[in-house]
Amino acid sequence: MTASSMEFLDARAAAATAGNTLADAIEARADQVVAALRPIASDASIHIEIKDAVALLRTADAEADRYVLADPATPLRAYLPANNALYSAALFVFLPALYLDDVMARPSARSKAQYFALRDILGDAVPATARLVDYSQREFADLSAGAAVVFNGRPENGMRLVDVINPTVFLGFGAGPNPALIGPDCRGAVLGEAVEAVVAARLYNNGEDCLCPDLVFVHRSVRAEFVDRLVARLREVPVTGDRGVPGLINGPLAAADSVTGLAGQVACFARRELWRGDGVDTPDHHPVIVREAALSDVTADIPEYFGPVFDLVTYDRFEEVEAALSAPDRIADGMYVWGYGEPGLDGRERLGTGRVIGPTTPFEAESGHAPFGGWGRRASWVSVGGAAPAGRPLLLADELAAQR
């Protein structure tokens, strides 16, 4: 399909106007948004979500050139995640609804109340073409037949859905370990920056996010100083039962069963414990734990922690890390790889199937207008016309434009 210059200009103008209207509503009603999200998110992560959602919507016209090439009549069905409710709604529902005629989304059962509260708070600023629905999995699968689908969740569940609903295109967003590397050149001020970045990334929303690093590789030559600085920094993080405490905290998880699940992972995947922080006497709190894993652990199944657990892996040579991240299980879940002071990362696009993003966290590297993820078929993957899933960085607008 070709489009005229006027069509591009009209699409940009309409998206800019509607996107700014939504962004204005979020900012004007920020106190209500914070209150709605407080039961599942920390104060700091909520304010980051607000900032990111506003920035995404104020630049909604950035994707106009791609959406103009897509068919606006393409129905879009989105399976929304349990976390990052505001930003997920902005990314997978509100923004595409500025361009598409039929966008329907089913929130995760765990955070359904938060999604519907956001819809009500934002009111008539939400595009009329966007709908949040409270259907069963079976009902929503029936409504997804033949549609373009965005799925957030376990890859095996998404891949089963592909066979059930026969979508035109199916985008799956899973998770990866998103390892950080602390290399031999990570010393002095750079080591301080690395410690701060690792703590901020691992404790984003108390660890309940798929971009949090589940592994931290530390070169033996800097291990002792890194661990000392890491523990010292973690001692400064407030331990609290109140999600409303500003800044980085070790606070409550989303629910008591989240703590049970995390405790089960910690017990199942045994590691030598290096440090454990204080706890709070409330069923939804889990203390920070720093543990030592082995390189051999990395090549096997590893947990995706949704909580404040740091697994450190000591290495001597970059080639050891490269081999570990190229093991079959790691090839499947490659999303992002980042780090400080490791020359082996310089100039690389990928390590295994993880996208190398350099000295920046996945949270800082992620952009709603650019492809997300790496090349792991369980991390970010796409199935076109029911074909076998292929792992690659994904942007919804690009995938829809390619179908026209």
Q: Mean pLDDT over residues 265-285, rounded?
A: 94
The label of the residue with tokens 């922080």 reads 277
Q: What is the pLDDT of residues 190-249, one digit of tens each?
A: 999 999 999 999 999 999 999 999 999 999 999 999 999 999 999 999 999 999 999 999
For β-strands 148-152 and 289-293, DSSP reports them as unpaired
Tokens 């609804």 belong to 97
Give CA–CA dist 353/376, Å, rounded: 5
Residue type, 155: P
Whole-Å CA distances, 383 to 70, 103, 137, 147: 17, 19, 20, 12
Distances (CA, A) of 28 to 31, 34, 63, 127, 357: 8, 12, 25, 17, 34
Specify the pLDDT at position 184: 98
pLDDT at residue 3 greater than cutoff 80: no
CA distance 48 to 173: 21
Is 200:194 a contact under the CB 8 Å cutoff? Answer: no
pLDDT at res. 87:
98
Average pLDDT (269-273) is 91
Condensed to tens digits (0 to 9), the pLDDT of residues 371-390 reads 999 999 999 999 999 888 99
Residues 158-173, mean pLDDT to the nearest whole number: 94
pLDDT level of residue 403 (50, 70, 90 thresholds):
confident
Contacts of 345 (CB under 8 A, 6+ apart): 181, 183, 337, 339, 351, 356, 358
**What pTM was estimated for this model as a whole?**
0.94
Q: Is the pLDDT of residue 63 over 60?
A: yes
Residue 107 to residue 31: CA distance in whole angstroms: 22
Q: Are 144 and 167 in contact (CB under 8 A)?
A: yes
Q: What is the mean pLDDT of the chain?
A: 94
Residue 1 has pLDDT above 60, yes or no: no
What pLDDT score does 7 carry?
76
Query: Where are the strands (E) in 209-361, listed by range?
Result: 216-219, 272-276, 289-293, 309-315, 336-340, 350-351, 354-356
